[in-house]
């Protein structure tokens, strides 16, 4: 595993979606801890930084505090209880102000076990959007082009869900060998199971 960021020929931004209340987990997942002591937010930020993503931002709950990695621009949601699409809109509206990136990786914070190789594989894709697959099943993160990101912020693509937007973009599938893309750690039990399967 590389110790530092990979330098990319195609500048790519990153957005961690971490604004949820995490009710099923018992609290916001951004600051929940993995068995190795890192928070979900730290793990996501590390893999995206190693993948060479910059700028890197994270949407966060409005009233929850915790350690935020230096590589991450924190974006507080205006109120609690907003859905994921509101979190996506906030992040994209912030990031499109930076003219220097061509692609963007979207990673929900409840997928903290994704591998760096998956990030770089998605970055290498061309086209409007790309979704990783494992055994023909979709996972996270996803890649969208700047054109798609701008269309989302300008409400030129159908919504209000990311699935509808990816269908309209359209997105293509990218097979990967990474069980982390399907490891949705949205409960403590799901985290324990995924950690055991992936790390032995």
Domains and CATH numbers, the chain: 12-199 (3.90.550.10)
* Tens of pLDDT, residues 11-69: 999 999 999 878 888 788 999 999 999 999 999 999 999 999 999 999 999 987 889 99
Cβ neighbours of residue 76 closer than 8 Å, sequence gap 6 or more: 59, 60, 61, 62
- Pairwise CA distance, residues 166 & 169, whole Å: 5
* Tens of pLDDT, residues 147-175: 999 999 998 987 778 889 899 999 999 99
The dihedral formed by the CA atoms of 42, 183, 194 and 51, expressed in degrees to the nearest 10: -40
Q: What is the pLDDT of residue 159?
A: 73
Q: What is the pLDDT of residue 194?
A: 96
Return the bridge partners of 172, or none: 130
- Pairwise CA distance, residues 146 & 189, whole Å: 36
Give the predicted TM-score (pTM) of the model.
0.92
Q: Are 109 and 40 in contact (CB under 8 A)?
A: yes
């Amino acid at each position: 595993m590389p110790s530092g960021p990979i330098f990319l020929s195609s500048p790519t931004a990153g957005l961690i979606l971490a604004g949820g209340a995490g009710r099923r987990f018992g609290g916001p997942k951004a600051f929940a801890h993995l068995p190795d002591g890192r928070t979900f937010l730290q793990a996501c930020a590390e893999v995206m930084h190693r993948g060479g993503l910059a700028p890197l931002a994270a949407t966060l709950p409005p009233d929850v505090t915790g350690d935020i990695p230096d590589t991450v621009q924190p974006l507080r949601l205006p109120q609690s209880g907003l859905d994921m699409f509101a979190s996506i809109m906030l992040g994209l509206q912030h990031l499109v102000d930076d003219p220097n990136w061509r692609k963007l990786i979207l990673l929900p914070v409840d997928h903290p076990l994704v591998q760096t190789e998956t990030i770089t594989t998605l970055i290498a894709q061309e086209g409007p959007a790309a979704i990783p697959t494992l055994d023909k099943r979709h996972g996270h993160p996803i890649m969208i082009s700047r054109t798609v990101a701008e269309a989302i912020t300008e409400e030129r693509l159908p919504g209000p869900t990311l699935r509808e937007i990816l269908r309209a973009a359209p997105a293509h599938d990218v097979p990967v060998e990474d069980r982390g893309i399907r490891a949705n750690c949205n409960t403590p039990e799901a985290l324990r199971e995924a950690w055991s399967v992936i790390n032995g």
